[in-house]
A and B are shown apart, each in its own frame.
Chain A
Amino acid sequence: MFEAKFEDGGLFKKIVEAIKELVKNVNLEANGTGISLQAMDTSHVALVALQLNEKGFKKYRCEKSLTMGLSIENLQKILKCSGNDDQITLRTQDEEPTTLSFTFESKNRISEFQLNLMSLDQEQLGVPDTEYSSVVRMPSNEFTKICRELGNINEAIGIETSKEGIKFYVKGDIGEGQVSVKINDTEKPEERVECEVDEPVNLSFAVRYFNLFNKASALSSQVILSMSQDQPLVIEYIIEEMGSLKLYLAPKIND
């Protein structure tokens, strides 16, 4: 028996919106501590990882660990039948569920849907706990804007960190450009830019993955970029009171 009730159903919709461009079919894992999801994009260059803690739900019960294989596209079709202010409850009865039930509740209506599940034997990757040598926290819409703008100039974006801050740069056929984001300790937390740089990094990424993921910026006003040289970058959106949505992206390397 599994039941998880989102107080703010709109949050669940934003999470699905953020990952739908990157992953097609996912295994949703539920256990006593909460819900998690880990899936690679079709090219296996990026890895999406969601973690939602049971304490963040209005109601949460999961007697036995469950794996529910679902198509993100079909999940979206069901969620499109809900309002952004609805409370959303996920529920299954059996131990080996073949469907996942959804209840959408608002002041004046209640809806019930069932999504057919599928069995997906997806490889799960072990992401080692890593001490990243550069960790940058910045406004999420700023990061989104930079990736979108520089992505117009070149398909690869460089990220260089230093004690002064973080620099995004592109060198394309049409020319080149760079954007340096300065550290600021403004009292408005959503506008703060913080850099912890033990070791500076200089990495290059395919910017299309950033732009496919940038709807996740609706989840949090700040984004955390964790980097180590020649390691995948981690883009993390903290989901207030619930957990986090992360994108791990393999860097491009000069052969």
Chain B
Amino acid sequence: SSSEADKMAAALEAELNDFM
């Protein structure tokens, strides 16, 4: 579902924000 995609994108961005 798109909400699952949104959750995954948010989780990925959170991981990358620590890195960036």
Q: Tell me whether A and B are bound partners.
A: no
